[in-house]
Amino acid sequence: MIDLYYWPTPNGCKVTILLHELDVPYRLIPLDIGRGDQFEREFAKISPNRRMPAIVDFGPTDGGDPIAIFESGAILMYLAEKYDRFLPTSERYRYDVLQWLMWQMGGLGPMCGQAHHFRQYVNTPVPYASERYTNEVNRLYGVLDSRLADREYIAGEYSIVDMACWPWIKPYKGQGQNLDDFAYLKRWFLTINKRPKVREGWNVGREWLNGGPVVTEQSKAILFGQTAVRD
């Protein structure tokens, strides 16, 4: 069995989408980041960064002790390798997936996160930061659009990198973007949007938000302004 520590955010949904695409059973452990569940000491043993998603696999293929993994990109790679799907084995195609996965983890995700932060969550507007991150997201959308001009999916075949990028494009309006400006990206987005397993994964735990945003006025004090924790 796999335990998934989860809250319905884009990084969390990457993992539920893959688990649903794989039809793998898992135990969902809600980790309410707006309430501060991520700061529980026990959770830091699983996710030293005190962020979700994280998994614990109680049935690793080597038959040994349970394996705990944090960082959504590493979780996607682990599950794709374990179940031998959505990550090609041939070097050329494998590194097509992996380089774009690194691009998502190091670029698209963090920049979109900052765009959301400065456009929606700050109480005192910071126009320079808002413009800076909106423009950078726009640049990254352009990179993905060009990549998709001559292929259906980011690495040719549908793979974990599509599952990693799609949840970050889904809230494009909050990032100040217009998909009509990116024809190839829009076509890809709508194709993935139609996949039943993607919709299932995206909807996991959505009812916990009661129709509201992930970040609320109450949760801002918990989420923003964190400094080093020394146990």
Ligand X SMILES: N[C@@H](CCC(=O)N[C@@H](CS)C(=O)NCC(=O)O)C(=O)O
| Contacting positions for ligand X (CB under 6 A) | 9, 11, 33, 38, 51-53, 71-72, 223
Q: What does the block give as tokens for 199?
A: 């919709």
Q: Please answer whether residues 185 and 169 qualify as being in contact, where contact means their C-beta atoms are separated by less than 8 angstroms.
A: yes
Q: How far is the CB of 54 from ligand X (least distance, A)?
A: 8
Min dist CB 180 to ligand X, Å, is 27
CA–CA separation, 134 and 132 (whole Å): 6
For residue 56, report the phi and psi dihedrals to the nearest 5 degrees.
-130, 125
Apex CA 97: angle with CA 93 and CA 10, to 5°? 160
Q: Closer CB to ligand X, residue 11 or residue 177?
A: 11
Minimum Å distance from CB 77 to ligand X? 12
Q: How far is the CB of 62 from ligand X (least distance, A)?
A: 24
Report, in Å, the least distance between residue 221 CB and ligand X: 11
**Residue 108 amino acid letter:** L
Q: Are β-strands 26-30 and 2-6 bridged in parallel, bridged antiparallel, or unpaired?
A: parallel
72 versus 177: smaller Cβ distance to ligand X: 72
51 vs 147, beta carbon nearer ligand X:
51
- What is the closest distance, in whole angstroms, from the C-beta atom of residue 53 to ligand X in the complex? 6
How many Cβ atoms from other residues are within 10 Å of residue 197's Cβ?
A: 16
Residue closer to ligand X by CB (options 9, 134) is 9
Q: Which is nearer to ligand X, 24 or 74 (CB)?
A: 74
- Radius of gyration, alpha carbons of the chain: 18
Residue 165 or 186: which CB sits closer to ligand X? 165
List CB contacts of 112: < 8 A, sequence separation 6 or more: 10, 137, 140, 168, 171, 175
CA dist., res. 176 & res. 92, Å (int): 35
